[in-house]
Chain A
Amino acid sequence: MSSDSAQQSPLSDFSSTPSSVDEDLQVYLKPEGEKIRLSLPRSTQRSGSTDWSEVWQQLKHRLNGSDRSWQPGTTVHLSAKDRLLDGRQLQAIADALEEVQLQLGRIDTSRRQTAVAAATAGYSVEQHSPIAPLSTSTSEAAPQWSQPLYLQTNVRSGVDVRHSGTVIILGDLNPGGTVIAAGDILIWGRLRGIAHAGAQGNRGCRIMALRMEPTQLRIADAVAKAPETPPAQVDPEVAYIAPQGIRLTKGIDFFKTHSFSAEEGGWTDL
């Protein structure tokens, strides 16, 4: 694997990739006390139907791939943010949740039309002003660190998985698919797409895969692309930042033979 550590920026400077794991860009499912919060991405400027079909694909991907460790019948609070949802779309979401034994309870929205549609369909609604989002958990100041995202599914071409913590995929990361994580990335399968670990600047993060055949690997601000003719390595491997840039090694011994050095800005041999 050829590699080059792009601009040796200081560790504290996250400016190159600060928002890449922004929770507002993706569908999120996370426990919140007794309930589960399902948070939709903010709406984009793009045409309504394409935008909805992308959100829908992400939602199904997350639900189908989840480990379903919740209690059957758990209530879900939907954060629809500034998204326009009609009755049909709300019904589709409720049905999708029901398939995995979750129950749509309340809907939080900043849009009047969505609130009306939700109330008409018989859900309890909380409408809040668009300027101050209700969920204070998405504080802008400090980079957030979330629970690991565990997905039991393939990440296919055209699919982006972004998460402000560690990502674990039980399946393949296919060419054309992308995983961007603030923490580590563990692919229990083939890694053939693009993986970016430590996306908020943490150079200690690693990318692990049963079969490492990536299009491109990134850790923090370092980038490495696959060589033209990848060596036929069949063992699980770990990608990490060494002082010289991104390196690959067999997974089995990595933690015995390497340690992270903040001064060196990377992992060094013991």
Chain B
Amino acid sequence: MSRIIVITSGKGGVGKTTVTANLGAAIANLGRSVALVDADFGLRNLDLLLGLENRVVFTAVDAIAGECRLQQALVKDKRQGGLALLPAAQNRNKEAVTAQQMKELSLELSEKYDYVIVDSPAGIEVGFQNAITAAQEAIIVTTPEVAAVRDADRVVGLLEANGIKRIHLIVNRMKAEMVQLNEMMSVEDILEILAVSLIGIIPDDQRVVVSSNRGEPLILADKVSLPGMAFNNIARRLEGDKVRFLDLMASQDNLINRFRRWFR
């Protein structure tokens, strides 16, 4: 059974696209086939993060309009056999696609791929509605900020109303030292509000930005970094493995137990 998972957040700029690209690569690295769908029409950049920009010929909109076959629009990653991208159109607005079309497209992909992962736009408007329509599962991405968590909570409510019951949480851009100084929400604080299951914590790390700029997912690096490991662990947890949470504070001396609990 293949899985259709939407990556969403409510708030923009929290790392949805970063998560989609890196998680997709990490799952493919485990030997699964993965189709990534860029549902952020008008603002496409998933192709950039994957380093596939120069190979985009057709987009999802072309496939929907019947101007090409779905297979032609898919960009296959040469570095990783199992990974493919369905790019969004950059020049068309989000009204170009209906929820029904998005649903059919995702279902068609799910016949050939183990995972269909949909990167959604920010907000809760039409583009978001389209992105979630086919999904059976969702990964909520939030940063440890009050506004991001507030929007994530709104989105969880909307997902529940749309019958999506399996909701996982990724806390992105965690700064252990700030939590320790009580200057940032802890993972525990976030879970207390959102009440969904935690699937990963990704540290705030320059290497995430560097890998995005180079178009090289973290998992492909010669020496895998801490954030790269975090993505690999999320991929394994999705596959059902019990993987302990990384100790992002290993380098810090003064451990706060309340925070540490989540990293054991």
Interface residue ranges, A against B (CB under 8 Å): 49-50, 53, 56-57, 59-61, 64, 154, 156-159, 172, 174-176, 190, 192
A156–B157 contact, CB under 8 A? yes
Q: Please, which residue of chain A has its CB at the minimum distance from the CB of B156?
A: A156
Query: B152-168, CB under 8 A of A: which get 1 and which 0?
Result: 01101110111100000
A158–B126 contact, CB under 8 A? no
CB distance from A48 to the nearest CB of B (A): 12
CA distance A239 to B56 in the complex (A): 60
CA distance A57 to B128 in the complex (A): 14
Range of interface residues on B (Cβ < 8 Å): 10 to 19
Greatest chain B CB density within 10 A among A53, A156, A190, A192 is at A156
If the complex has contacts A154-B195, A174-B193, are A57 and B153 also in contact, measured as CB distance less than 8 A?
Answer: no
| Chain B residues positioned under 8 Å from A50 (CB to CB) | 125
Q: Give 17 pairs: A residue, B residue, CB < 8 Å, sorted on A.
A: A50-B125, A53-B129, A57-B158, A60-B160, A60-B162, A60-B163, A61-B157, A154-B157, A157-B151, A157-B157, A158-B157, A159-B157, A172-B195, A174-B193, A175-B146, A175-B153, A192-B193
CB distance from B127 to the nearest CB of A (A): 12
Point out the residue from A57, A154, A176, A190 that lies within 8 Å of B161, measured CB to CB.
A57
Q: Please, which residue of chain B has its CB at the minimum distance from the CB of A189?
A: B195
| Chain B residues positioned under 8 Å from A60 (CB to CB) | 160-163
Task: Say yes or no: is B150 at the interface (Cβ < 8 Å to chain A).
Answer: yes
| Chain B residues positioned under 8 Å from A154 (CB to CB) | 157, 195
CB distance from B75 to the nearest CB of A (A): 31
A175–B125 contact, CB under 8 A? no
Q: With A60-B162, A157-B153 given, can you name 10 additional A-B contacts, CB distance below 8 Å?
A: A49-B126, A61-B161, A64-B160, A156-B153, A172-B193, A175-B146, A175-B150, A175-B153, A176-B150, A190-B192
| Chain A residues positioned under 8 Å from B162 (CB to CB) | 60
| Chain A residues positioned under 8 Å from B157 (CB to CB) | 57, 61, 154, 156-159
| Chain B residues positioned under 8 Å from A49 (CB to CB) | 126, 129
CA distance A50 to B129 in the complex (A): 10
CA distance A157 to B149 in the complex (A): 9
CA distance A199 to B19 in the complex (A): 44
CA distance A49 to B151 in the complex (A): 20
Q: Which of B128-157 contact A (CB under 8 A)?
A: 129, 146, 150-151, 153-154, 156-157
| Chain B residues positioned under 8 Å from A53 (CB to CB) | 129, 158
CB distance from A260 to the nearest CB of B (A): 34
CB distance from B154 to the nearest CB of A (A): 4
CB distance from A5 to the nearest CB of B (A): 29
Q: Please, which residue of chain A has its CB at the minimum distance from the CB of B157?
A: A156
CA distance A175 to B149 in the complex (A): 10
B126–A176 contact, CB under 8 A? no
Q: Please, which residue of chain B has its CB at the minimum distance from the CB of A59?
A: B161
| Chain A residues positioned under 8 Å from B154 (CB to CB) | 156-158, 176
CA distance A53 to B129 in the complex (A): 9
CA distance A183 to B125 in the complex (A): 34
CB distance from B44 to the nearest CB of A (A): 23
CB distance from A90 to the nearest CB of B (A): 17
Q: Please, which residue of chain A has its CB at the minimum distance from the CB of B146?
A: A175
If the complex has contacts A172-B195, A174-B193, A175-B193, are A56 and B153 also in contact, measured as CB distance less than 8 A?
Answer: no
Q: Which of B247-263 contact A (CB under 8 A)?
A: none
